[in-house]
Structure 1
Amino acid sequence: MAEPFKNMYNEQFLNLFTKDLKLVIPNLEPHAFVSQVMDKEWENRELKQRTAHIATVLKSFLPADYKAAIAKILELLDCIEPRYPHCSKIDDTKFGLLLEYGGILDSYIEQYGLDDYETSVKAIERITQFTSCEFVTHPFIVKYPDAMMAQMLVWSKHEHWGVRRLASEGCRPRLPWAMAIPSLKANPAPILPILENLKNDPARFVRLSVANNLNDIAKDNPEVVVDLVKRWRGESEEVDWVIKHGCRTLLKQGNPEVMKLFGLGSAKNIQIENLRIATPKVKVGDSLEFSFNLSNNSNKNIKIRLEYALYYQKANGTLSKKVCKISEKDYTANSITRITRKHSFKVVTTRKLHPGLHQVAVIINGSEFDKHDFELVE
């Protein structure tokens, strides 16, 4: 079974964290700190509950005045910066060097700094150069929408790639695990100048964030993303990748205008034949195996986005659809291609598996073919 994310906050990490804290809080007692954190409720706390709890304990060891406490946190970052030279460079292999610290410091600012905008924003700008602060920006955008979005626009031109990434990631309307931003879901216009500044960014992690922000926007305002695709397309290879990845939900939905923009037309001359499920009963931990023939009955090559839909059993007995991509390429005129696929049912922390009826269906250029049943068993 996959290790739960919350377990990255363990005794070993806390011992390292308190060792660093003593650099700026010399009288800190590590044992007292760790014992307060790992109390009788510790094992029952989930990821964000753990970071919030550690932040609460941290408050009792920092100065009572918020500005003075933030000064200590920034002093801590100055002390440990020499250990992380890659933080100041564009390094797309080492993102999240201090992921665990970021979760705690984000939570500290969210809990205790929401009423001190200027101090908190300066701290966020510094902290995000070591980790990522997108979760804490959301409550600030909700409370200070105009000021915070203006700040994000300034950050989109920052010299540090981590701050530029925050400018996009921190205003994603549907950022997973974060507070939603209803105003940006309803009207994403304040986000667009930020994405314009970042769509060609030299850092891959920044461009990925732009694509993910576009994908969020597309779920509520598809017409906005379609308009951007029309304006941005062909600007560079990097921008073309951004818009294609940013349209992944619209492509999975078979949005006709987006399909046409990416050269994906009608599937009327395409047939799916001899779909066979090799594993009609799949044990948890094993894989579904299926295969089918894809026939192009046209006299022309046809560009096909080939996907499959997996319908998962939910706890209430209904089915939940997830679309998975197989390929996107040209299929030769008057050809038959045999496709085989495996889909893992290993236990992961991001999806709860429920035994029972499941279904699989093939999708071609957004059109779904007949579903076929299989059973997930313990």
Structure 2
Amino acid sequence: MAEPLKNLFSADVIRAMGAVLARIDGFDRAAFEAQALSGLDDLEMMERSAQIAAALRAAMPLALPGALAPLTGLLHPDLQEGIDGGPPDAAGLRGWSLVPVGNYVAEDGLEHPEACLGFLAEMTKRFSAEFAVRPFFRDHPELTLETAAGWARDPNHHVRRLASEGSRPRLPWGIRLQDFVRDPAPVLPILAALKDDPSEYVRRSVANNLNDIAKDHPSVVTGIAARWMRDASGPRRRLVKHACRSLIKAGDPDTLAVFGYAAPGDLAADLNVSPAAITLGESLEVSLALTHKGAGPLPVLVDLVLGFRKANGQTAPKVFKWTETELPPGEPTQLTKSLPLKPVTTRRHYPGEQTVSVQVNGVIVAAREFELRVPDQDG
């Protein structure tokens, strides 16, 4: 069984932090460890981080921004591992131990944005400051955007990534940047500057930012995709496709057209689903024959869409990626797929008639029904 994420902030990590922080003249290590360790077993991951940040604040002999210089001096010298760095050691703070440090800076340093942003640029080289920087985007957008534009030119790829990851409108686990949700335009120059970054780590962050934007402004991202795909290198093509993944999955026709997937037109689809009734935990066997009746080959993106029954009897679609291929004219292409229907914690399954549909280039071309039996989910 995988180690619980909350153990990233274990008692050993807290004590290792205390040993490093004790090098600050006047830092109360005993008080820090006592407060940070109090009731630790009962706390979840982010609760632990918040408690460690509170303990750090209480034990610090200096307020911000005065505490930034000694904290900077305690950062680990290894700048290569970044977010994959291990726990703090005798060389300094790194890895997940820096999350509560970032929390402390973000909570107490908003009145000193320039100094704090400088510290976060150093901190991100040893982990990531993507969560800590977000209150500065929220409360000091012009200064932070200007700073992030400079980060996009930094020689360190962790700092360049901070420019795009920290400005994501809907970063998971991070506060939502509502101004950028409403209008992403201020962020777009930063993403454009990083679209051909030599680091895949950075390019993937750019893609994730655009995917966030696509949830509220799909046409903006489709337009960017069309422009960036002109004479695009392989890495940029992969970035753009990853950026458009939600739009592609949703079958957005304009986005699909950017990647050469036209409406299927004259296409015959023969779909078979077996068995006709299954029990949750079993697999659905899907077979499909696609015949393109037009002239020339047809590139296709084929997805399965399961319509799961809800409590009110209506269905909610869930898209499963299937395949990308090219259909020759006049010859049937056979496809098969086994689709396990397993219980998941994120969805409650209801018994009865469900649907399975085939989506080709964003268009539903065939559908079948099947019966789902659901054992007691509360037992």
Do they superpose with TM above 0.5?
yes
Q: Aligned residue for 1:96?
A: 84
Greater per-residue helix proportion: 1
The answer to whether structure 1 residue 176 and structure 2 residue 164 are counterparts is no
Q: Aligned residue for 1:246?
A: 243
The structure-2 alpha-carbon separation of the partners of 1:74 and 1:340, relative to structure 1 and needing over 3 Å to count, comes to same
Does the aligned pair in 2 maintain the 1:155–1:167 contact within 8 Å? yes
Does the aligned pair in 2 maintain the 1:361–1:372 contact within 8 Å? no
Match for residue 204 of structure 1 among 179, 194, 200:
200
The structure-2 alpha-carbon separation of the partners of 1:313 and 1:164, relative to structure 1 and needing over 3 Å to count, comes to farther
Which structure 2 residues correspond to residues 50-61 of structure 1 after superposition, within 5 A?
50-61=48-59
The structure-2 alpha-carbon separation of the partners of 1:163 and 1:266, relative to structure 1 and needing over 3 Å to count, comes to same
Q: Aligned-pair distance for 1:339? A: 1.4
Does the aligned pair in 2 maintain the 1:306–1:365 contact within 8 Å? yes
Q: Aligned residue for 1:354?
A: 348
The answer to whether structure 1 residue 111 and structure 2 residue 107 are counterparts is yes
Q: Aligned residue for 1:91?
A: none
Q: Aligned residue for 2:140?
A: 144
Does the aligned pair in 2 maintain the 1:354–1:376 contact within 8 Å? no
Q: Aligned residue for 1:306?
A: 302
Q: Aligned residue for 1:128?
A: 124
Q: Aligned residue for 1:36?
A: 35
Match for residue 339 of structure 1 among 333, 336, 340:
336
C-alpha offsets along residues 151-188 of structure 1, whole Å, 9 cap, x if unaligned? 11111111110010010111111111211112212221
Q: Aligned-pair distance for 1:194? A: 0.6
Corresponding letter in the other structure for 1:295: L
Distance 2:19 2:341 in 1: 41
Larger RCO, structure (CA 8 Å, separation 6 or more) = 1
User: How big is the alpha-carbon RMSD for the aligned residues of Structure 1 and Structure 2?
Assistant: 2.8
Q: Aligned-pair distance for 1:229? A: 1.8
Distance 1:71 1:135 in 2: 21
Corresponding letter in the other structure for 2:57: K
The structure-2 alpha-carbon separation of the partners of 1:45 and 1:359, relative to structure 1 and needing over 3 Å to count, comes to farther
- When Rg is computed on C-alpha atoms for both structures, the one with the higher figure is 2
Q: When the two structures are superposed, what TM-score results if normalisation uses the length of structure 1?
A: 0.85
Match for residue 264 of structure 1 among 242, 258, 261:
261
SS across alignment from 2:67? helix
The structure-2 alpha-carbon separation of the partners of 1:375 and 1:123, relative to structure 1 and needing over 3 Å to count, comes to farther
Distance 2:138 2:339 in 1: 43
Moved more, 308-317 or 271-280: 308-317
Identity %: 29
The answer to whether structure 1 residue 154 and structure 2 residue 171 are counterparts is no
The structure-2 alpha-carbon separation of the partners of 1:248 and 1:33, relative to structure 1 and needing over 3 Å to count, comes to same
Q: Aligned-pair distance for 1:219? A: 1.4
Instruction: Note the residue ranges of structure 1 that are not aligned, 5 or more in a row.
Output: 88-93
Number of residue pairs the alignment of both structures matches: 360
Moved more, 351-360 or 101-110: 351-360
Instruction: Note the residue ranges of structure 2 that are not aligned, 5 or more in a row.
Output: 86-93
Q: Aligned-pair distance for 1:26? A: 8.1
Corresponding letter in the other structure for 1:45: L
Q: Aligned residue for 2:21?
A: 21
Distance 1:365 1:182 in 2: 32
Moved more, 61-70 or 207-216: 61-70
Q: Aligned residue for 2:88?
A: none
C-alpha offsets along residues 225-257 of structure 1, whole Å, 9 cap, x if unaligned? 122122211231111111111111111121111
Match for residue 209 of structure 2 among 182, 207, 213:
213
SS across alignment from 2:319? strand
Does the aligned pair in 2 maintain the 1:141–1:148 contact within 8 Å? yes
Corresponding letter in the other structure for 1:293: L
Does the aligned pair in 1 maintain the 2:350–2:374 contact within 8 Å? yes
Distance 2:113 2:53 in 1: 19
Q: Aligned-pair distance for 1:264? A: 1.0
SS across alignment from 1:280? strand
Q: Aligned-pair distance for 1:129? A: 0.8
Distance 1:331 1:3 in 2: 45
Corresponding letter in the other structure for 1:221: H
Q: Aligned-pair distance for 1:353? A: 4.5
Distance 2:306 2:36 in 1: 41
Match for residue 229 of structure 1 among 225, 228, 236:
225
The structure-2 alpha-carbon separation of the partners of 1:360 and 1:273, relative to structure 1 and needing over 3 Å to count, comes to closer
C-alpha offsets along residues 295-335 of structure 1, whole Å, 9 cap, x if unaligned? 22425432111222355678999865442322222133322
The structure-2 alpha-carbon separation of the partners of 1:117 and 1:315, relative to structure 1 and needing over 3 Å to count, comes to farther
Distance 1:239 1:258 in 2: 16
SS across alignment from 1:295? strand
Distance 1:344 1:75 in 2: 53
Distance 2:3 2:262 in 1: 43
Does the aligned pair in 2 maintain the 1:254–1:366 contact within 8 Å? yes
Corresponding letter in the other structure for 1:177: W
Corresponding letter in the other structure for 2:152: S
